[in-house]
Amino acid sequence: MKKSILITMLLVLVFVMTGCSEDYDGLMEKGAKYKADGKLDEAIETFEKAKEADPGRAEAYIELYKIYGSHGEYDKALAISEEGAKNIKDEKENTQFNNRVKTLMDSYRDEDLYNYDSLCTAANVAMTGVDVYTKATTGKYTLEMTGKGVIVKYNDVELGADDPFYIAINDVLPGFATNIRKIVVGGSDYVITIENGVCKKTVTP
């Protein structure tokens, strides 16, 4: 009797898992068609349903990430990437997912606006301000370019958007204070250091 119940439970489990997988694939196909037809709201809704149907598979997160990232909605893209990284349990698939996210966002970001040279130029302009220059020559500013955006610090303390250094950079690179922190930076992580009035770049392993 117990054996019969166990077999029944296993069959039910297999049926549920199979049904879930088929539902996922069907939703992904439907979402792709909506996307191809330019019906992005319907595509997003369908990919969201696919994500909920099987949270451990990567493709729904990737498709949502593509839609948000390609339309400049970096906060939503970042939220999706974090959700995917949390829910994709298979280690190999999780690594592949994170690599794909970095590659995708590298294609979305504005290389001319947010590269090393332009940030150092903005930092040098910021240092023309007396207060910023004094702090830059007596302490250390850092711009930490990581896989989840840019963090600005002074002597290892994170700065807010109301800090004079932050404001000065934003004057040179409009949108810096409100947008750059939402941009996922592809490629190697690195840190820009402004110390003794000199801007340097260090690539982290």
Backbone angles phi, psi at 31, to 5 degrees: -65, -40
Q: Which residues contact 27 (CB under 8 A, 6 or more apart)?
A: 46, 47, 49, 50, 53, 60
Structure-block tokens of residue 135: 């702090």
Shared domain check, 92 and 6: yes
- H/E stretch holding 143 reads strand 140-146
Q: Can you give the residue range of the structural domain that contains 193?
A: 112-203
- Please tell me whether residues 53 and 129 are part of one structural domain: no
Is residue 65 located within the same domain as residue 101?
A: yes
Q: Are residues 102 and 124 in the same domain?
A: no
Q: Residue 19's pLDDT is what?
A: 44
The domain that holds 99 is classified in CATH as 1.25.40.10
- Residue 8: C-alpha distances to residues 11, 12, 14, 19, 20 (Å): 5, 6, 10, 16, 18
pLDDT at residue 7 in the model? 53
In whole angstroms, how far apart are CA 46 and each of 13, 26, 38, 70, 84? 25, 10, 13, 18, 16
| pLDDT tens, residue order, the chain (205 aa) | 555 555 555 554 444 444 444 599 999 999 989 988 888 899 999 999 999 999 999 999 999 988 887 776 767 887 898 899 899 998 888 888 888 887 776 665 544 445 566 677 778 777 777 788 888 888 888 877 655 556 788 998 988 878 888 887 777 666 554 444 433 333 445 677 888 878 887 765 5
Considering its fold, how many domains does the chain have in total? 2
Is residue 34 domain-shared with residue 78, that is, in the same domain? yes
Reported as type and span, the H/E element at residue 29 is helix 2-36
Task: Report strand pairing: 198-203 vs 190-195.
Answer: antiparallel
CA pair distance 38, 40, nearest whole angstrom: 6
Strand, helix or coil for residue 28: helix
Domain C-terminal end among 63, 93, 108: 108
Please indicate, yes or no, whether residues 29 and 58 belong to a single structural domain of this protein.
yes
Q: Judge residue 178's burial from the number of C-beta atoms within 10 Å of its C-beta, 0-12 exposed, 13-18 middle, 19 or more buried.
A: exposed
Contact 129, 145 (CB under 8 A): no
Same domain for 124 and 101: no
Q: Is 179 found in the same domain as 154?
A: yes
The amino acid at 139: G
Tell which of 67, 88, 108 closes a domain: 108
Tokens representing residue 125 in the block: 């302009």
**Do residues 121 and 136 both lie within one domain?**
yes
Q: Are residues 151 and 185 in the same domain?
A: yes
Beta-carbon contacts of residue 122 (< 8 Å; ≥ 6 apart): 168, 169, 172, 173, 176
Q: Choose one of 82, 108, 134: the last residue of a domain.
A: 108
Confidence (pLDDT) at 189: 58
The answer to whether residues 126 and 46 belong to one domain is no
Domain co-membership, 170 together with 75:
no
